[in-house]
């Protein structure tokens, strides 16, 4: 992942940024799979061959925004509590794609109501990934699926207020109000 500072873009601009960044890096052996627009950053999901340097990428993408972070995604097993804490921090920092990935590792090892609850939170993160790509209709559809999965959950789960989360999702769906929220 490459994170650029977001100085002017909105989620509706995600496809434009994707096309522009692919054009800027077209002479390099780099694959840009997706672009997501958060409040303060642009998240570019890219594959970089080892011989490519970050300096070259940074220079070629400077018209879009300055580089603020690079995150090499490597799948690893981590403790459940640590994973959920990490996912919560990622979610609250609008890194919804990575939230989804971290929680999926936990979800695979659960069952019953806990599995549904985690699946519901994963679906919320997935919905917000689509929001960041300017796909509000898909976002709403996935949030509705999340509400179904969260139906039996209540109270707190690892410091996540599930009742509050369900209320925020329901309000988003009902009002089509895509304001940022935390868990």
Domain match, 65 and 88 both: no
Q: What local confidence, expressed as pLDDT, does residue 47 receive?
A: 86
> In terms of domains, do 102 and 146 share one?
yes
How many Cα atoms occupy the beta-carbon half-sphere of 54 within 13 Å? 11
Same domain assignment for residues 128 and 57: no
- Are 58 and 115 in a shared domain? no
Domain check: are 64 and 85 in the same one?
A: no
Give residue 76's pLDDT.
66
In a domain, 108, yes or no: yes
Number of domains in the chain: 2
Task: Reply yes or no on whether the pLDDT at 51 is more than 70.
Answer: no
What is the per-residue pLDDT for 149? 97
Question: What is the average pLDDT across 34-61?
Answer: 88
- Per DSSP, the chain holds a count of helices (H) and strands (E) of 7, 6
Do residues 147 and 99 share a domain? Answer: yes
Looking at beta carbons, which pairs linking 133-139 to residues 24 or more positions away fall under 8 Å?
A: 133/11, 133/14, 133/15, 133/34, 133/35, 133/36, 133/37, 134/10, 134/11, 134/12, 134/13, 134/14, 134/15, 134/37, 136/176, 136/178, 139/178
For residue 181, tell me if it sits in a domain.
no
């Amino acid at each position: 992942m490459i994170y650029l500072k977001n100085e002017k873009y909105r989620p509706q601009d995600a496809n434009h940024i994707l096309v522009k960044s692919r054009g800027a890096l077209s002479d390099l052996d780099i694959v840009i799979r997706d672009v997501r627009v958060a409040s303060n950053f642009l998240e570019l999901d890219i594959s970089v061959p080892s011989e490519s340097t970050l300096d070259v990428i940074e220079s070629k993408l400077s018209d879009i925004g300055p580089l603020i972070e690079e995150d090499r995604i490597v799948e690893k097993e981590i403790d459940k509590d640590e994973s959920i804490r990490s996912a919560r921090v990622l979610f609250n920092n609008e890194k919804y794609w990575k939230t989804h990935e971290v929680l999926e590792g936990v979800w695979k090892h659960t069952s019953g109501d806990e599995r549904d609850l985690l699946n519901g939170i994963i679906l919320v993160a997935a919905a917000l990934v689509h929001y960041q790509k300017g796909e509000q209709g898909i976002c709403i559809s996935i949030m509705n699926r999340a509400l179904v999965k969260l139906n039996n959950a209540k109270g707190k789960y690892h410091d996540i207020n599930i009742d509050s989360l369900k209320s925020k999702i329901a309000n988003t769906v009902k009002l089509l109000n895509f304001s940022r929220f935390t868990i």
